[in-house]
Chain A
């Protein structure tokens, strides 16, 4: 495996379900990100981890809970979601966060539908 991988690619869940999204990067990067992408809207940064520590949390509802057990893996735990949470969830990594040249490498995303 190379680059950034995400599983599952598609997820349909009810509002009472609990599920988790997984991201893995094979690039040796120190920073990882979760983004939400909705149609015709800018990418919304949700969480940033640097060396397994959360460095940013952009007022995301508590029904989204991130976990970064090591610098290669990132999870997004989901529970009691709302239909408006349906979107493409993208994971990204970069060599480090907090620098001007911060090229981010993205995974293919998880298309989430909340019924």
Chain B
């Protein structure tokens, strides 16, 4: 079966750095997405990786290792507004998005 694993919940301190991991086992791979979802709101696109390596976008970076079936989302200089759920999703060989259950990130002052 297809599976995406992420931690259920993480806690970090304002101003710090946090890394959210995602591992996947899918039938094929055509790219990996990270989305952010604030409570009661729509998921919004953060990043896309299809080649190995690090993609940096401001305070957020996303890393991919296809050989390991592994990605992480790195958030720097954490702000209270970063408290949200972070969803990992993989496009499989049929171009269908397979979603993880999301990681709830709690930021403490």
The chain A residues found within 8 Å of chain B, CB to CB, are: 4, 40-43, 45, 56, 90, 97-109
Contacts and interface: CB of A to CB of B under 8 A. Distances in A.
Interface of B: 4, 8, 30-31, 33, 40-45, 48, 50, 87, 89, 91, 95-102
Contacts of B87: 43
A102 B97 contact: yes
B95 A97 contact: yes
A100 B99 CA distance: 15
A100 B34 CA distance: 14
B80 to A, nearest CB: 21
B95 A98 contact: yes
Contact of B101 (A41, A45, A108): A41
B95 A102 contact: yes
Most chain-A Cβ atoms within 10 A of its Cβ — which of B43, B91, B96, B101? B43
24 contacts: A40-B8, A40-B101, A40-B102, A42-B99, A42-B100, A42-B101, A43-B89, A45-B97, A90-B42, A97-B95, A99-B95, A100-B31, A101-B31, A101-B48, A101-B50, A102-B31, A102-B95, A102-B97, A103-B33, A103-B45, A104-B45, A104-B97, A106-B44, A107-B42
